[in-house]
Amino acid sequence: MTNTQLTLVQIDNYGPWTVTPDPRREMDLQTLQSRLFADLAQFVGARDGYVFFTRFDNMVAVTNGLDHADHELLQESIGNRYPVTISLGVGVDKNPAVALERATDVVQRAGSAQDGDRREVLAGDTIPDADRTDGDVQIAHFDVNDATGKYTDRLNEFDTFIHIEQGYASLMRHLREEHGALSFFVGGDNIISVTPDLSEADYRAAIEHVEAEADVELKVGVGTASNAHEAGFAAKHALEDCRHLGTTVEFATEPAEIADD
Ligand SMILES: Nc1nc2c(ncn2[C@@H]2O[C@H](COP(=O)(O)OP(=O)(O)OP(=O)(O)O)[C@@H](O)[C@H]2O)c(=O)[nH]1
């Protein structure tokens, strides 16, 4: 059974900072936000986690395998190098939406996102090493069928963007409401979902829902492992299986390291 460890990353007092003493240049804020995301992706990714940019001032990370000391080091390193600090809340549950509720709750209890005195909160417990298993994280990597032929090579970028975003909106709502799975747009035509244990029928139903609601056709590869990287890597291999076999849903059947043999 899955046991997802999620970390909410929240920039401390960011709203007031963006307008103090006067509104700051928008592209400077965009530069800061994207560099912060890049640093988080490198730090968390090097420890086999995943991080998603969501709204940039708040980001969500799958941190199975990262302990309290890793989280502390991340805060220290960001605090040393950026004009802003980050608070981190950690939550664990078999259901990703519940894990994120927990992670959010411990940060919210410490004060508001716009409280000048609330800085570098680190709250919530990580999974003890002894309790970790190969079934802790399920990642589903979704991809739009032939996005290049249907959209990228035919439409202007904005109209392509609308199609992809509508598919994403439909999928993220369906999986959140039906299963407590959390889905994140990761660029191009790709969506990564952090899910509880879902069946092939659950994924088929999700894909059919998106096709009916948004007229966007998806396929998905699914992987399960002790951390996000291994689960996600297996999911990518399973997605390649969909491409080769012409199928819509594939589960990884062997460890990611040997899946392409
Ligand atoms: N984040 C992420 N983006 C990817 C990945 N693979 C492809 N992309 C993006 O998706 C875009 C479309 O690529 P594909 O999905 O391979 O192409 P497609 O035209 O949809 O073809 P099929 O997926 O084979 O149906 C690329 O331009 C990339 O931006 C991936 O593994 N991760």
Tens digit of each residue's pLDDT (9 = 90 or more) over 84-110: 999 999 999 999 999 999 999 999 998
Q: For 132-156, where are the alpha helices, taking DSSP H only?
A: 147
Query: Are 122 and 32 in a shared domain?
Result: yes
ipTM score over 0.95, yes or no: no
Using a 6 Å cutoff on CB, does residue 148 contact ligand 1? yes
Query: Are 69 and 160 in a shared domain?
Result: no
Residue 259 has pLDDT above 50, yes or no: no
Using a 6 Å cutoff on CB, does residue 154 contact ligand 1? no
**Share above pLDDT 70 across residues of the chain, in percent, rounded to a whole number:** 97
Q: For the chain, where are the alpha helices, taking DSSP H only?
A: 14-18, 26-46, 68-81, 96-110, 147, 157-179, 200-214, 228-245
Using a 6 Å cutoff on CB, does residue 187 contact ligand 1? yes
The rounded Å distance from CA 142 to ligand 1 centre is 10
Using a 6 Å cutoff on CB, does residue 246 contact ligand 1? no
Query: Are 91 and 200 in a shared domain?
Result: no
The H or E element containing residue 28 is: helix 26-46
Q: Tell me the mean pLDDT in the region 59-71.
A: 98
Name the domain count of the chain.
2
The rounded Å distance from CA 188 to ligand 1 centre is 6
Query: Are 145 and 236 in a shared domain?
Result: yes
Using a 6 Å cutoff on CB, does residue 186 contact ligand 1? yes
Query: Are 161 and 116 in a shared domain?
Result: no
pTM of the model: 0.94
Q: Residue 103 sits in which domain range?
A: 4-131
Query: Are 110 and 208 in a shared domain?
Result: no
| Dist. CA 105–CA 184, nearest whole Å | 21
Residue 213 has a pLDDT of: 98
Tens digit of each residue's pLDDT (9 = 90 or more) over 139-160: 999 999 989 999 999 999 999 9
Confidence band, pLDDT 50/70/90 cuts, at residue 255: low
Query: Are 121 and 149 in a shared domain?
Result: no
